Structure 1
Amino acid sequence: MEYILNIETATKNCSVALAKGGKTIVCKEIAEEGYSHAERLHVFIEAIIKEAGITLNDLSAIAVSQGPGSYTGLRIGVSAAKGLCYALDIPLIAVDTLQALASQVTISSGLIIPMIDARRMEVYSAVFAPNLERKREVLAEIITENSFEDLQETLYFVGDCAEKCKSVLTKENYVFLDKIVHPSAKEMSAISFDKFKKRDTVDVAYFEPYYLKDFMITTSKK
C-alpha cells in the first residue's frame, strides 16, 4: 500500500504526516510564533520515517501544501518536497491549503469558510460546501461587516483570523469554530491519496507555491 509524506508549512504550523493508503499513521507538528520551519521540518521528516519503521525509498509520493499562506513558510516546504522528489524520483502532489483547513470541519449543511491571516484586516479565504466542493475561488480580501453578506446559509469560519474577524463578522448565521486554527498535514492525507490515484501531480521542476499576492516592492524617489 502506498506511503505518501505530507508537508504543511503555509502558516505558523510546521506539520509533517506520513499516510498509508490515505490514512495518517504518524504526524509531528508544532505551531510557534517564530516560524521554526527551517529548523523543524527535516527533523520531523526523519523522525516520522524512523517511527514508522520505513525508509525514504518506501515513499510513493510527496505531497506539499501549495498555499496561499506565508511566503517564507511555503518556500521552505516546497523546497524540501522538491528535493525529496528529485532524490527519490517520485511524483509531487500539490494540495490546496484552504481545502485542507476546511476538511477539518464536519457539517451536513451550511458552508465552510477557511481563512488564513494576511496581516491587518486582510485574509486569504475561500468557500467550500460540506463535501469540500469549492463554491468560490480563493481571494485575498479585506474583511468588513459586509463580507459574505450574499451568503444566506450558516457560515462556519475556521483559521487563524478568528479573533480579528469576530468583531466585524457579527451576523446571526456566522459561526466561528475557534479550535480549528491551522491547516495540518494530517488533513492532507486523504486529499493527497485521492490525487495520487488520479495521477493528479505537478511538475517538480516548474511547480511554484500559490502565493496569491506578490510582495510590494517600492523604490525611493529621487
Structure 2
Amino acid sequence: MKSILAIETTTRTGSVAVLRDDAGELQLFDGAMTQQSGHAETVLPLIDSVIRQAGITRSEIGLVAFGQGPGAFTGIRLGCSVAQGISMALDLPLVAVNSLQAVAAAFDGGAGVTLVALDARMQEVYFAAYGAGGIELQAPVLLSASDVPQFVEPRLKFWARAVGTDQLAWLVGEGWQVVNAQAGQDWTTSLPVKSVDSEARPHAREVAIVGRQRWQAGQTLLPEQALPLYLRDKVAFTTEERQHGLGGNPKVESSGSRTNQVLLMPMMPVDLNEVVELERQSQAFPWSRRNFEDALAAGYRAWVLRVQDVLAGFCVAMPTPDDVHLLVIAVAPDYRRQGLATQLLAQVDQLARDHGVSRVLLEVRPSNARALAFYAKQGFREIGKRRGYYPAGKGEREDALVLSREIRELAV
C-alpha cells in the first residue's frame, strides 16, 4: 500500500505526517507548526519537509487525509483547501477525519468510552464520545461548557451499554479545562474515570492512522466532496432541553434546570431489540431486524429518542449525492403529538446540510392520511409516485407517494 499524507490545521498547533507502509510494517514521520498562527505560510514547506523525512517521493503517496474540523475556521478551511489542491494535482483520493476522532484515536483505552472535549472558545467546547476502535457513540456537537454535565450524565449509561462496559477509559482533550473552569470545580471527578488528559489536541499522526482505516474500508472522497466540518450551526440538545435553557449555539446562559430527559442519540446495535419492537407497533409491514442491521452496517445515519429510559422514537436516513432519503421514522404511541417526530426530522435536515444537499425525500402510503397531514405541515410536497411500492396484504401492492422538502439554509 502506498504512503499516506496527513494534514491537521484545525488548532493553533498544526501538524503534518506521512504514514509509510514498509512491507506491512508501518512507519510514521511527522512535523509540527509551532507558531500560534500563520499556518498558511508554513504548511506547504512542512509537507515537503516531512515527505523528504519519510524518504519518499510525491508519486509514492496514495492518499491524502486531512483534519476537517471542528476547530478554528481559518485552519479548517486551510487544511481542506490544501488537501483538495494536492488531491487534484496528484490525482489522489481523500479522507476527512474529524478533530475529535483524531484525539480519541491517540487514547483508545480498549473496552470503555472515550469522551473528547476540545476548546471552542467563548466558554464552549466541541464534544464527542467514542467506543473502542473509534466507534462513534456521540457525533461531534457544540456545547456551552457549563452545559456539558447536563448533556453527559444522562447519556453516559447508554454510551457505556452500547460498548458493553460500566467504566470510562479516558477523558481527553483541552476542552475539559474549560468545562471545569465553568463548573468552578473538577467536575470530572464525579465520573467513573480511568484517566484524564486535559492537554490533548488533534495531531496529523492520528489523522493518518484513521485515514488508513477508512482507505482500507473504501471510504474515500473526491476533491469536490471534501467539506469542512463546522459546528456553529449545530444543535446538540433536543427542543425540550433548549426550552429549559440548555444549548451552545450560540452560547446561552444555562438555567441549570433539569428536563424530562428527552435524549437524542445515534442508533446503536444494542438499541435494536427496542427499535424492532417499536417498528412492529408502528407499521403494518415493518422493517425486520436484519433491515436495521444492514442499514447500520451500510453507514446510513440513524437516531433514537429516549424519554428517561424508554425508547420514544427513531429514524433512519440514507445520504445520497443529490439528497437525503428518509427511510423509516416512528414515534411510540404514548409519545406522539409531543414534537418528537419534528425533532427527528430536524436531524435529517442537518444531515442534508452536512452533506451539502438541499433536499430530503421520503415515501408514504396514500392511505396513511395522518402521516400525509403531518408531512404537509412540515413542508413536504408530493413530487412523484412509485407504482406498487408497498405490500398491502393478500398479495396486493400499494403505491407510494414521493414527498420532498427543500432545505433552505445549507451549511457554508
Match of 2:90 among 73, 88, 91: 88
Q: CA deviation at 1:126?
A: 0.6
SS in 1 for 2:142: strand
Partner of 1:219: none
Say if 1:12 and 1:87 are closer, same or farther in 2 by CA, change over 3 A.
Answer: same
Provide closer, same or farther for how the CA distance between residues 27 and 20 of structure 1 changes in structure 2, counting only shifts above 3 A.
Answer: same
CA contact (8 A) 2:173 2:199 kept: yes
**Equivalent position SS for 1:84:** helix
Q: Sequence identity of aligned pairs in percent?
A: 30
Distance 2:189 2:198 in 1: 20
Q: 2:177 & 2:222 partners in 1: Cα distance?
A: 38
Query: Does residue 1:27 correspond to 2:46, yes or no?
Result: no
2:179 matched to which residue of 1?
165
Q: Which residues of structure 2 form unaligned runs of 5+? A: 158-166, 234-248, 251-412
Match runs of 1:1-222 below 5 Å: 1-21=1-21, 23-32=26-35, 34-144=36-146, 145-150=149-154, 151-152=156-157, 153-154=167-168, 156-167=170-181, 168=183, 169-173=187-191, 175=193, 177-178=196-197, 180-214=199-233
Whole-angstrom CA distance in 2 between matches of 1:119 and 1:24: 35
Structure 1: how far apart are the matches of 2:27 and 2:117?
A: 24
Q: Which has the larger radius of gyration?
A: 2
Could you list the runs of 5+ residues in structure 1 that have no partner in the other structure? 217-222
Equivalent pair of 2:3/2:60 in contact (CA under 8 Å):
yes
The secondary structure found in structure 2 opposite 1:148 is helix
- Stretch deviating more after TM superposition (135-144 or 74-83): 135-144
Q: What TM-score do the two structures reach when normalised by structure 2? A: 0.49
Q: Secondary structure at the match of 1:188?
A: helix
Match of 1:220 in 2: none
Q: Is the 8 A contact 2:103 2:203 kept in 1?
A: yes
In 2, Cα distance between equivalents of 1:35 and 1:186: 20
- Give the direction of change, closer, same or farther, for the CA distance of 1:155–1:31 in structure 2 (3 Å limit): farther
- Alignment coverage as a number of residue pairs: 215
Letter in 2 for 1:26: F
Q: Give how far 1:30 is off.
A: 3.4
> Aligned partners of 2:96, 2:225: CA distance in 1, in Å?
12
Shift of 1:141: 1.0
Question: What is the CA–CA distance in structure 2 between the aligned matches of 1:197 and 1:131, rounded to whole Å?
Answer: 15
Moved more, 58-67 or 140-149: 140-149
How far residue 177 of structure 1 moved from its aligned partner, in angstroms, is: 2.4
Separation (CA, whole Å) in 1 of partners of 2:10 and 2:192: 25
Report if aligned partners of 2:126, 2:175 keep a CA contact under 8 Å in 1.
Answer: no
Which one scores higher on RCO, CA 8 angstroms, separation ≥ 6?
Answer: 1
Displacement of 1:155 in angstroms is: 6.3
- CA–CA distance in structure 1, aligned partners of residues 172 and 211 of structure 2: 21
Letter in 1 for 2:232: K
Matches of 2:110 and 2:177 in 1, distance apart? 25
With structure 1 as the length reference, what TM-score do the two structures score?
A: 0.87
Q: Residue 190 of structure 2: SS of its match in structure 1? A: coil
1:10/1:24 CA distance change after superposition, 3 Å: farther
More helix by share: 2
| Secondary structure, counterpart of 2:46 in structure 1 | helix
> Which deviates more from structure 2 when the two are superposed, residues 75-84 or residues 152-161?
152-161
C-alpha distance after superposition, 1:118-146 (max 9, x if no partner)? 11221111111133211112111112343
> Using the alignment, how far apart are the partners of 2:19 and 2:32 within structure 1?
15
Letter in 1 for 2:212: F
